[in-house]
Structure 1
Amino acid sequence: MVDIEFDHMIHYIDGLEHFEFPGKYLEIQKGGRHENLGTFNRLVHINLSYIELLDIFDQGKMKHQSKTQEGKYSFATSIIQNGYKQGFKKICFRTHDIYKLKEDFLARGLEVVGPVKMTRQNKKGHEIHWQLLYVNDHQFDVMMPFFIQWDKSDEDREADLRDTFQTHLDIDMIEFHSHQRQTMTENWQKWFDMDIVEKSNKYTILESPAKKVKFKIVEGKDDRIEGIHFIDQTIQAPILIRTRGASYHFKPEER
């Protein structure tokens, strides 16, 4: 069983410095800069899982990064290939042993790049370190997740970040649209040990081994990450907010 659980997703926003989430349903924290990538971010922490809002400060650096071996599979390439269209670009799964995960993927016939060591400065000027692993799948490069191992343990990261958590929210589901739903479903079952928890003639819902976040694959004409679904303890009726090319769904807690 592969050791993965949902970590974060990347939402590319042009003009991030001036962006506020509509209705302030989500609190946005300061992030930092990826100097080598030419990008910077702001963060929406739910718990240890979060949304990374991302923009570009140096397009030349990002284009250069997209031409490297690891950059071919990164969010930088996704943004460029999509014509700098705003919206969700990538999702990331967290693991606790990225080298073991690499061996698991190789044994399942996948091509991998990494682990790649990364760093950035946070809002306090401290360096944050992590490693990334990329998987090559030419059919679904747009939809393929990447994988992260943080330098700190989950317990230490939770202690550092707890004050930013939005405890009235839980991430319930990530929604994809795919023109090859069946193939994508079978691959995610085979590669990532996901189970089908619901299925219709138009969509399939999968659950990862961690069983914390579900993944809905909807039959569509193109391949994209459509939206994120939250359970919100403070609302009485569902809310849909569409902003900067991405859908944010909020539904009340079941009572």
Structure 2
Amino acid sequence: MLELDHIVHFINRDPAQAVYEWKKYGLKAILGGSHTKWGTYNSLLYFGLSYIEYLAVENLEVASQSENPLISQLLRDSKQFEGFGQICFRTDNILKLKEDLQKKGYHPTEIFDGKRLRDDGVLISWKMLFIQSDGPLPYPFFIQWSQSEHERLEDLKQNGLLPEKQEGQVIESISFVVSNARDVAADWARLFGVSVDSQIKINVGRSDIIFYDKNASNDLMQIHNLKGDRPFLVEINPPISTSPITVLSDCYK
């Protein structure tokens, strides 16, 4: 079963800025560390085991040589905007997932190995899988962690990286603005093996993915998404604010 793992928020500044910004709202974001092989670094805002990743380029020369599709997208998108760029779902069997995607007619990439040295000296490792796409909206990507969910949760709690308040919160929905909402929703529903409801929404795990057409009369969408086919709003349950707030150029509630 797939669950939302994280949302990637591209930034053009030190990821420590996210830690500072979220402290204003009473939430604890943490420094992640460096992906030395990819030339990037990050900070993380956890809600349970799901999180927002604030990803930035640390070494442009290394990042420019990376074959990781996420790093390539970061380099492209960050020239135009800061904000949400990608979403990732976790699996416990990435090899089978790749086979299933191929059977459905999608074109998954090779499986990438990832690792990051945390600030406390702990080495975190994982595997990643992407889907090739020629359209303006990248497909979500997938991750399999080397630790079990229980091990990861206990590690976060024991090291003070996940406050009790945030442990009980979940990422309830991610809203996208896209060129053709019905077509995209149908495609993603087929990818995940779910159905589309009347609001052009699909549910994967505990999170909803909502699609809006570019010409939809949604004021929030018009204000916060001038970047093309990308996410524009992340909603947390219980909410972090009574009305939408802008943090590092994109919108949360």
Give the TM-score normalised by structure 2: 0.85
After superposition, the C-alpha distances for 1:127-165 in whole angstroms (9 at most, x for unaligned) are: 11100011112114x431110000011111111113414
* 1:116 equivalent in alignment to 2:112: yes
Relative to total residues, which structure has the larger strand share, 1 or 2?
1
* 1:184 equivalent in alignment to 2:184: yes
How far apart are 1:197 and its partner, in Å? 3.6
- Are the equivalent residues in 2 in contact too, given 1:43–1:53 (CA < 8 A)? yes
The size of the alignment, in residue pairs, is 232
In structure 1, which of residues 210, 214, 217 is the aligned counterpart of residue 211 of structure 2? 217
How far apart are 1:81 and its partner, in Å? 2.0
Distance in 2 between residues matched to 1:124 and 1:155, nearest whole Å? 20
After superposition, the C-alpha distances for 1:40-73 in whole angstroms (9 at most, x for unaligned) are: 11110111101111222111111111xx3xx2x3
In structure 2, which of residues 79, 83, 86 is the aligned counterpart of residue 90 of structure 1? 86
- RMSD, aligned α-carbons: 1.8
What residue identity is the alignment partner of 2:251? S
Counterparts of residues 69-218 of structure 1 (less than 5 Å): 71=68, 73-74=69-70, 76-82=71-77, 83-140=79-136, 142-162=137-157, 163=160, 164-165=162-163, 166-199=166-199, 204-208=200-204, 210=205, 212-218=206-212
* 1:247 equivalent in alignment to 2:247: no
How far apart are 1:194 and its partner, in Å? 2.4
- Are the equivalent residues in 1 in contact too, given 2:112–2:127 (CA < 8 A)? yes
Structure 2 segments unaligned to the other structure (5+ residues): 216-227
- Secondary structure in 2 aligned to 1:24? coil
Distance in 2 between residues matched to 1:156 and 1:25, nearest whole Å? 26
- Secondary structure in 2 aligned to 1:182? helix
What residue identity is the alignment partner of 2:248? R
- Are the equivalent residues in 1 in contact too, given 2:177–2:229 (CA < 8 A)? yes
- Are the equivalent residues in 2 in contact too, given 1:174–1:227 (CA < 8 A)? yes
Select between 5-14 and 76-85 the one with higher mean Cα deviation: 76-85
Aligned match of 1:11: 9
Aligned match of 2:36: 35
- Are the equivalent residues in 2 in contact too, given 1:79–1:85 (CA < 8 A)? no
Structure 1 segments unaligned to the other structure (5+ residues): 250-255
Taking a change above 3 Å as real, the CA distance of residues 233 and 146 of structure 1, as seen in their structure-2 partners, is closer
